[in-house]
C-alpha cells in the first residue's frame, strides 16, 4: 500500500528535525511543566517524551500497556535529561480500554507530581487492513469502538486534573481527512471518529488548548504493514514540543502536519477557515 500524497501549507517540507524546533531553544523550555504521554514507551510517543525531557520539563510520565516497552522508554527519557536536569520520569502501565486502569494511572501520576500541564494523546489501536466489501462487520465495528473508547477513557481521566493552562496534543492521522486510501477503511473511520471526539472535547472545554496532529510517516508498531516511511521520529518529537510552547498558541483548535515548517506557519498565522478547508 502506498502512502497518501502529502498536504502542505508551507513551501518548506521537513522530514527531519531543524533548529527552530530544537529543545535547546530557550523559547521552547518546558521548565515547570508536568507532561503525560500516552503510548510513550516507543515510537512517536517516546520521541515526544524525550523532547520534553531535553527541554527541562518538571516531569515526563509515559503510560502504556506493555511493561517492557515502558521500561525501555523510561530509560530513553532518563538518558535524554541534561546533566544538570531534574526532570522526574514516571511510567504507568494501563490498558486504555479499561477505564479503571487509566483512571488509576493518571491519579498515580498526579499524586507524585501535581496537575497535568501537557497531555499527549498518542495511544493508538491499529485495525486490520483490508478492503471494505469483504471486511467482517463485527471486526470493523469492534476496531472503531476501541479507538473511540480509548479516547473517552483518557480524557475523562485527564480533565479533572488538568492544569490551569493545559495543552492537549492529539496524534491523529491524515487518513481521517484526505481522499480515501484503499485498504484501510476501519482505521480511517476510527481516526475520523476520534478526530470528531477531539473537536467536541475542544469546543466543550475552551480553557484547554487542543491541537490535532498528523505525525508524519514514522516507523511504528501501527504502520509496519505499510513498508514505506519517510520521516525521523525526532521530527514529531520536537514539533510537538514546539506546539506546546507560547509561540504556537494561535494554533489552538487547529489541525497541523509535523512536516510543515514552524517558521512559515507563524508567518502565515493560519485562520480557522484555512485549517478546516485544507486538512
**C-beta separation of 102 from 94 below 8 A:** yes
State how far the Cα of 79 lies from the Cα of 54, in Å rounded to an integer.
9
CATH superfamily of 19-278: NAD(P)-binding Rossmann-like Domain (3.40.50.720)
| Phi then psi dihedrals of residue 99, to 5 deg | -55, -45
Domain ranges of the chain: 19-278
User: Could you tell me the three cell numbers for 241?
Assistant: 514540543
Per residue in 65-85, pLDDT tens?
A: 999 999 999 999 999 999 999
The residue ranking higher by pLDDT, 266 or 126, is 266
Q: What angle do CA 243, 99, 119 make, to 5 degrees?
A: 10
- Pairing outcome for strands 34-38 and 209-214: unpaired
The residues that bridge with 158 in the sheet, in sequence order, are none
Distances (CA, A) of 258 to 72, 81, 125, 139: 25, 23, 21, 31
State how far the Cα of 116 lies from the Cα of 262, in Å rounded to an integer.
25
Query: Which residues are known to be catalytic?
Result: 172-173, 187, 191
User: Could you tell me the three cell numbers for 210?
Assistant: 487542543
Distances (CA, A) of 164 to 34, 161, 206, 264: 12, 9, 12, 29
The residues that bridge with 35 in the sheet, in sequence order, are 60, 118
Per residue in 154-168, pLDDT tens?
A: 999 999 999 999 999
Q: How much of the chain, in percent, has pLDDT values that exceed 70?
A: 91
Q: Say yes or no to pLDDT of 223 above 80.
A: no
Least confident window among 56-60, 121-125, 182-186, 222-226? 222-226
Amino acid at each position: 500500500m502506498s502512502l497518501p500524497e502529502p498536504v502542505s501549507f508551507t513551501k518548506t517540507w521537513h522530514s527531519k528535525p531543524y533548529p527552530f524546533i530544537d529543545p535547546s531553544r530557550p523559547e521552547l523550555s518546558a521548565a515547570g511543566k508536568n507532561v503525560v504521554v500516552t503510548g510513550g514507551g516507543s515510537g512517536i510517543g517516546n520521541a515526544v517524551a524525550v523532547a520534553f525531557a531535553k527541554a527541562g520539563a518538571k516531569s515526563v510520565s509515559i503510560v502504556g500497556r506493555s511493561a517492557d516497552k515502558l521500561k525501555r522508554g523510561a530509560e530513553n527519557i532518563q538518558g535524554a535529561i541534561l546533566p544538570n536536569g531534574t526532570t522526574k520520569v514516571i511510567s504507568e502501565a494501563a490498558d486504555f480500554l479499561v477505564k479503571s486502569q487509566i483512571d488509576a494511572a493518571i491519579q498515580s501520576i498526579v499524586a507524585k507530581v501535581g496537575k497535568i500541564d501537557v497531555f499527549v494523546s498518542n495511544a493508538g489501536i491499529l485495525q486490520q487492513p483490508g478492503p471494505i466489501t469483504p471486511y467482517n462487520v463485527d471486526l470493523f465495528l469492534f476496531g472503531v469502538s476501541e479507538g473511540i473508547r480509548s479516547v473517552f477513557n483518557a480524557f475523562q481521566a485527564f480533565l479533572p486534573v488538568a492544569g490551569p493552562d493545559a495543552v492537549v496534543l492529539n496524534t491523529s492521522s491524515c487518513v481521517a481527512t484526505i481522499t480515501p486510501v484503499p485498504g484501510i477503511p476501519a482505521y480511517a473511520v476510527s481516526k475520523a471518529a476520534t478526530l470528531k471526539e477531539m473537536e467536541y472535547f475542544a469546543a466543550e472545554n475552551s480553557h484547554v488548548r487542543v491541537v490535532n496532529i498528523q505525525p508524519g510517516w514514522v516507523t511504528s508498531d501501527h504502520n509496519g504493514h505499510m513498508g514505506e516511511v519517510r520521516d525521523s521520529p525526532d521530527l514529531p518529537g520536537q514539533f510537538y514540543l514546539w506546539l506546546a510552547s507560547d509561540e504556537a498558541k494561535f494554533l489552538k483548535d487547529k489541525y497541523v502536519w509535523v512536516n510543515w515548517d514552524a517558521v512559515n506557519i507563524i508567518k502565515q498565522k493560519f485562520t480557522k477557515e484555512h485549517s478546516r478547508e485544507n486538512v
